[in-house]
């Protein structure tokens, strides 16, 4: 049973890292569920304090994930149309077979959204850059948190490897 739980938890940790870059999968929260499964394993000791702290961090990052790209767009002169364009572009880019499709989609989505909102091309380009910068910042923060959770996971597994394997 422990091997099954370990496998599920390890899969969630990997999905959490992947989810750092995919807007449809909340990376840190997915990784946290992996930590929760680790906590529920009787042979592994994870303190409740660590579990609660990591949950709070994951939820805060999840909430910030909705604001950071919008703040980037707004800081660089974008409007709501640019923010909506960014979201649509991210989804299209996610489905695209083009490498880096999400980045290109976010950038083009913000650019087109601003142009539709009757912004001149210079303003639209500036807002698109802000959107891209916000997306990259958000993805980086989520990635760092997911990797820290993975490190915690590996540390706990390593400490209790004799009980598991």
pLDDT value, residue 88: 86
- pLDDT score at 53: 95
Rank 38-47, 49-58, 115-124 by mean pLDDT and report only the highest: 49-58
pLDDT of residue 149: 96
pLDDT the model gives residue 112: 92
What pLDDT shows up at residue 81? 84
Mean pLDDT to the nearest integer, 31-46:
90
The number of angstroms, rounded, from the C-alpha of 124 to the middle of its chain's C-alpha atoms is 26
Question: Is 90 exceeded by the pLDDT of residue 14?
Answer: yes
Mean pLDDT of 84-89: 83
What confidence tier does 130 reach under pLDDT thresholds 50, 70, 90? confident
Distances (CA, A) of 140 to 17, 32, 117, 137: 11, 17, 29, 5
CA pair distance 121, 124, nearest whole angstrom: 5
Q: Is the pLDDT of residue 31 over 90?
A: yes
């Amino acid at each position: 049973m422990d091997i099954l739980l370990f496998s599920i938890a390890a899969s969630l940790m990997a999905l959490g890292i992947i989810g750092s870059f995919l807007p449809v999968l909340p990376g840190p929260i997915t990784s946290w569920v992996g930590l929760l499964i680790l906590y529920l394993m009787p042979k592994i000791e994870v303190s409740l304090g660590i579990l609660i702290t990591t949950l709070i961090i994951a939820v805060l990052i999840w909430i910030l994930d909705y604001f950071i790209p919008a703040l980037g767009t707004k800081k660089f002169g974008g409007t709501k149309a640019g923010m909506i364009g960014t979201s649509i572009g991210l989804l299209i880019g996610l489905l695209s077979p083009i490498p880096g499709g999400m980045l290109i989609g976010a950038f083009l989505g913000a650019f087109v959204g601003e142009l539709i909102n009757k912004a001149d091309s210079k303003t639209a380009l500036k807002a698109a850059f802000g959107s891209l910068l916000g997306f990259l910042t958000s993805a980086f923060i989520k990635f760092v948190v997911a990797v820290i959770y993975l490190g915690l996971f590996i540390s706990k597994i390593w400490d209790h490897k004799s009980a598991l394997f």
